[in-house]
Amino acid sequence: MTYQGLIQRYKQYLDLPAHTQTISLLEGNTPLIPMPRLGNEFGCELFIKFEGLNPTGSFKDRGMTAAISEAVGRGAQTVICASTGNTAASAAAYAARAGLRSIVLIPEGKVAAGKLAGAIAYGAEVIQIQGSFDDALSLVVEITQKTPIALVNSINPYRIEGQKTSSFEICDVLGSAPDWLCLPVGNAGNITSYWAGFKQYQKGLPRMLGVQAEGAAPLVLGHPVEKPETVATAIRIGKPARGEQALEAAHESNGRIIAVSDAQILDAQRILASEGVWVEPASAAGLAGLIAESAKGSIDAKGKRVVVVCTGHGMKDPSIITESFKSPQVIPARYQALVDLVGS
Ligand code: AN7
């Protein structure tokens, strides 16, 4: 049978209420790309779970198909979320598909161009908050407590249900869980989902390496960060809603949560692109973490199977490339000028 989306594929494993009406854009079923050359450097069998290939370009579509399907089924007419960008684009797309009104709150000036454009294109009412993602999240929590508007942030348990499916897919492809799973951590919904998924699927358990950006690392510091800052705007979050669960996942799996610098994140982004996988900065944090831990000797990846989750596509955040990488050169439209530049 042709693929009908992840609710259809994994519904027996998903705790969704009977009233759920499936709204799907055929999300999930993303490739697990072998990275033999890069893996060689760590002596491990390395794969990228490329979540940037979901319908709106990020892993958020997994949770959103579930959250919107449940909301529609219970008769919701408007959905709302706070977002660093990807959740907004995803909520907007699935709400559009379902015929719902969507409202998204984003931190002013801190959302990458491809995400903002997506949210607008899909028809969301986009509201910029003069504050952080954390401020926006408090506001949407309050309004959904006082009105019938449905919350589709990952506090919504159905988001977690949908996002568990990525661990199922990894196990289905590899035949078992990998030894390590490395991924970025922002609001901590995704690490919570992966860990719940691996535990439920019973194909073995990976050790979890959650990676935050140094300027937005509340789970490493052990306290909220009032003014989070990082080039990886997707994970510019100072008070993760599921922080406790993220720490539990790291602890239970005998893994850890670490922080890496913006420079390490951009390095990892460049390395991935040099292997043909272009991801947004936050998505490179997982690899940055693996590189940092291997260099310190605190992860021995040798002979292990390692999956690095790349959560969002590079096209989400094009400006970072022209700012921090090599920009194109300009020449006159003459053959000699071309040869002078590229050599013969
Ligand atoms: C590319 O869109 O929080 O730890 O509002 O966009 O589950 O929050 C995005 C988060 C990693 C972190 N990678 O995941 C939002 C938002 C990318 C992201 C994360 C996000 P969580």
Place of tokens 């919107």: 68
d(CA 189, CA 14): 16
pLDDT at 296: 94
Q: Is 85 in the pocket of ligand 1 (CB under 6 A)?
A: yes
Q: Is the CB of 255 under 6 A from ligand 1?
A: no
| Ligand 1 center to 185 CA (angstroms) | 7
- Beta strands per DSSP E along the chain: 32-34, 45-50, 78-82, 101-107, 125-129, 150-151, 180-184, 207-213, 256-260, 305-310
The rounded Å distance from CA 198 to ligand 1 centre is 20
- Give the pLDDT of residue 276: 97
Closest ligand 1 atom to Cα of 58: 1
Q: Which residue's CA is the closest to the ligand 1 atom numbered 5?
A: 83
Q: How many angstroms separate the alpha carbon of residue 237 from the centre of ligand 1?
A: 9
Do the beta carbons of residue 177 and residue 198 sit within 8 Å? Answer: yes
| String of DSSP letters for 270-331 | HHHHHTT--B-GGGGHHHHHHHHHHHHTS---TT-EEEEEE-BBGGG-THHHHHHSPPPP--
CA 93 to CA 90: how far, in whole Å? Answer: 5
Identify the three-state secondary structure at position 32. strand
Average pLDDT by consecutive 10-residue portion of the chain (344 residues)? 96 98 98 97 96 98 98 98 98 98 97 96 98 97 98 98 98 98 98 98 98 98 97 97 98 98 96 97 98 93 96 94 77 96 89
CA of 296 to the centre of ligand 1 (A): 27
Nearest CA to ligand 1 atom 6: 234
Distance CA 140, CA 213 (A): 25
| Ligand 1 atom at minimal distance to the Cα of residue 52 | 1
Report yes or no: 115 and 89 within 8 Å, Cβ to Cβ: yes
Q: What is the pLDDT of residue 319?
A: 87
Residue 52 in contact with ligand 1 by CB distance below 6 A:
no
Residue 145 is predicted with a pLDDT of: 98
In the prediction, which pLDDT does 320 show? 83
Ligand 1 touching residue 230 (CB < 6 A): no
Distance 311 CA to ligand 1 centre (A): 8
- The one-letter code for the residue type at 219 is L
